[in-house]
Homo-oligomer: A and B are copies of this chain.
Amino acid sequence: MTNIASGNTLAAVASLIGDVARANILSALMDGRALTAGELAWHAGVSAQTTSGHLAKLTDAKLIAVEKQGRHRYFRLATPDIAQAIEALMAVAATGPKRHRPVGPKDIAMRTARTCYDHLAGRLGIALADALTTKGHVIISDGAGAVTRKGSKFLSEFGIDLAKADKGSRPLCKTCLDWSERRSHLAGRLGAALCVRCFDLGWIRREKDSRAVAITRSGQSGFAKTFGISL
């Protein structure tokens, strides 16, 4: 065996994700929010004791981070890297052999619009990326994007100030492969800012117990007026 060390840790990380209960936990955290152990137990579909064990393992491996608040413990994905790795795995899983389509109402909602870590995905995410691209506000080249001067002005009018360098290290405008649309949507600081702004404007709101988001009445007109989008 060549490089046992890197192989081992690769296997260790993948193995952590490779358990159904833990995969459900991580999927539930993919919207970037922090959830309590109890909520995660519900998502995982196993008892609270079992979940506790899983959470300990994930925390030890630094895949998730924990914050204590009173008698609750809030868990969230440790870094955006983790989310990216999981999204990449989801993309692989989506192309798998099983082309089964037991499409439920939840699935439809997910495909229409959802959060992906801290930005928007699904048809809405794609539509936003397209709208910004065709109007020349963002240039997407292959796997990433750059904001034009014109785009910067447009976004500032929309209420997003990209100048304040949130965290210097985080890329401004990345793209992220959408597992349902098989195309790229906007991630990075821009993607996150867009998402927050849409929530602030009341254009979208979170569905209960899901990453899916619903487009509100005002969102329907807002997206149409500002971006020319109608889903």
Q: Which residues of chain A have a CB within 8 Å of any CB of chain B? A: 1-20, 22-24, 26-28, 42-45, 60-63, 79, 81-82, 84-86, 88-98, 100, 102, 106-107, 110, 139, 141-146, 171-175, 188, 209-210
Taken together, the copies of this chain in the complex come to 2
Distance A7 CA – B14 CA, assembled complex (angstroms): 14
Chain B residues near A174 (CB, 8 Å)? 142-143
Cross-chain contact of A142 among B91, B110, B146 (Cβ < 8 A): B146
A19 lies within 8 A of B9 (CB)? no
Cross-chain contact of A7 among B13, B27, B79 (Cβ < 8 A): B27
Given A106-B2, A143-B188, answer yes or no on A63-B92 (Cβ-Cβ < 8 Å): yes
A4 lies within 8 A of B45 (CB)? yes
B96 lies within 8 A of A9 (CB)? yes
Chain B residues near A209 (CB, 8 Å)? 2
Given A2-B210, A91-B85, A141-B173, answer yes or no on A13-B96 (Cβ-Cβ < 8 Å): yes
Given A11-B19, A91-B85, A98-B9, answer yes or no on A141-B141 (Cβ-Cβ < 8 Å): yes
Q: How far is the CB of A48 from chain B (nearest CB, A)?
A: 14
A85 lies within 8 A of B95 (CB)? no
Distance A62 CA – B10 CA, assembled complex (angstroms): 19
Distance A70 CA – B45 CA, assembled complex (angstroms): 48
B82 lies within 8 A of A92 (CB)? yes
Cross-chain contact of A10 among B17, B141, B146 (Cβ < 8 A): B17
Known A15-B18, A143-B144; further 8 A-B contacts with Cβ < 8 A? A3-B210, A6-B90, A10-B90, A10-B93, A16-B18, A81-B92, A141-B146, A141-B173
Q: How far is the CB of A185 from chain B (nearest CB, A)?
A: 13
A81 lies within 8 A of B91 (CB)? yes
Q: Which of A24, A94, A98, A146 has the most CB of B within 10 A?
A: A24
